[in-house]
Amino acid sequence: MSNSLPLPDALGSLTRLNDWVRWGASRFNQAGLIFGHGSDNALDEAFHLVCHALHLPLELPAPYMDAHLTADECAAVHALLRQRIDTRQPAAYLTGTMWFAGLPFEVNPHVLVPRSPFAELISHHLAPWVTDAPARILDLCTGSGCIGIACALAFEDADVVLADLSDAALEVARRNVIKHDLGDRVRCVEGDLFTALRGEVFDLIVTNPPYVPTAEWQQLGAEYQQEPRMALDAGDDGMDCVARILHDAPAHLSDNGVLFCEVGGSQNEFEARWPDLPVTWAHFERGGDGIFVIDRASLAAYHTLHNEARHVR
């Protein structure tokens, strides 16, 4: 006997997989859902959720789109699609998984949904800025750990630290470390930016810190406000955490160390605050923006120059 709830009569004609993808996309658009957590349109997101509900791979051969579903399968698909509409949670929170840099990561509402253009940089081993394989890597504001773990797999001899202020986020990161069998090289550290890392020096620091101005965060759509506010909201101009990272990073970078920092759509705010900081902005073939690169020597020289200028005044 079926344990599924009966579907509303109006949905009785939805029997094939492609019927449910079409229905889901139509309802998503009708409800005004926002996309940007792994897909940018209703059809792709509906297909993703339908496949998840049916335990099918996303690389589904085209003939299977005409497959007829059982009553239980229809009920499961309908429930998941309705959950997406009713809760406005990003699809990745409903499935519990998001792919980043070709790798699967566990996610939940304690961490941002991975979507950083860092993935493209890592696929190129952060070239041309990183020429020698780093021995020690820090992923600051790590969240799910996706950036640091992808770096650990790209640089197979590196020791990696994943640091975050949120213990709940680090619990997710720890499970992702285990998922990718990296417990011998990757450790998680709880603390406010560099506070738990006194005396530690790294050849590479990668960070996707909070960088959204408060007023802008308040205007974000429901899907984005489902993500942890502390991972997004960063003060009046969005640069509060970035300012602290820039101030403290030289003490934690090796002589030839390099800092990669994402500020996303807040690049204008960054440049308004540090108009003469000699950063390089990365360019992306697959879309994305807002990651700057600076080496330790340039960052330290900038601080020295500006400290001396303040003393002269």
Per-domain boundaries in the chain: 9-94, 98-312
**pLDDT attached to residue 265:** 92
Cβ–Cβ under 8 Å, residues 268 and 289: no
Architecture, CATH, for domain 9-94: Orthogonal Bundle (1.10)
Lookup: tokens for 39: 């897909």
- 225: helix, coil or strand? helix
Question: 167-179 vs 146-154: helix axis angle to the nearest 10?
Answer: 30
State yes or no: pLDDT of 312 exceeds 50. no
User: Is cis: bond before 128, omega within 30 of 0?
Assistant: yes
**pLDDT attached to residue 10:** 62
State yes or no: pLDDT of 313 exceeds 70. no
CA 221 vs CA 18, 181, 217: distances in Å: 28, 36, 9
How would residue 88 be classed by pLDDT, with cut points 50, 70 and 90? very high
**Nearest of 18, 53, 14, 45 to residue 29 by alpha carbon:** 45
**pLDDT tens sequence across 238-279:** 999 999 999 999 999 999 999 999 999 999 999 999 999 999
Can you identify the CATH homologous superfamily of domain 98-312? Vaccinia Virus protein VP39 (3.40.50.150)
**pLDDT attached to residue 306:** 79
Question: 71-87 vs 42-53: helix axis angle to the nearest 10?
Answer: 130
Q: Running DSSP on this structure, what letter comes out for residue 192?
A: S
Cβ–Cβ under 8 Å, residues 77 and 52: no
Average pLDDT over residues 8-16: 77
**pLDDT tens sequence across 50-85:** 999 999 999 999 999 999 999 999 999 999 999 999
State yes or no: pLDDT of 99 exceeds 80. yes
State yes or no: pLDDT of 5 exceeds 90. no
- Beta sheet of 280-281, edge-to-edge order: 186-190, 159-164, 136-140, 202-207, 253-262, 291-295, 280-281
Residue ranges of E strands in the chain: 97-100, 103-106, 136-140, 159-164, 186-190, 202-207, 253-262, 280-281, 291-295
Lookup: tokens for 179: 């998922």
**pLDDT attached to residue 287:** 80
**CA-only gyration radius of the chain, Å:** 22
Cβ–Cβ under 8 Å, residues 83 and 91: no
Cβ–Cβ under 8 Å, residues 139 and 148: yes
Residue with tokens 């493209």: 120
**Nearest of 191, 133, 135 to residue 162 by alpha carbon:** 191
**pLDDT attached to residue 288:** 84
End-to-end CA distance of the chain: 83
Distance of CA 266 to the CA centre of its chain: 16
State yes or no: pLDDT of 200 exceeds 70. yes
Tell me if 9-94 shares its fold with 98-312. no
**pLDDT attached to residue 1:** 33
Cβ–Cβ under 8 Å, residues 91 and 140: no
Q: How many CA atoms lie within 13 A of 230 on its CB side?
A: 14
More confident residue, 21 or 305: 21
State yes or no: pLDDT of 40 exceeds 50. yes
State yes or no: pLDDT of 219 exceeds 50. yes
Q: Could you tell me which residues are beta bridge partners of residue 233?
A: 212
Lookup: tokens for 125: 């081993």
Stated pTM of the model: 0.92
**Nearest of 193, 201, 203 to residue 234 by alpha carbon:** 193
**pLDDT attached to residue 13:** 85
State yes or no: pLDDT of 86 exceeds 90. yes
How would residue 311 be classed by pLDDT, with cut points 50, 70 and 90? very low
**pLDDT tens sequence across 119-172:** 999 999 999 999 999 999 999 999 999 999 999 999 999 999 999 999 999 999
**Lowest-confidence pick of 167-181, 214-228, 299-313:** 299-313
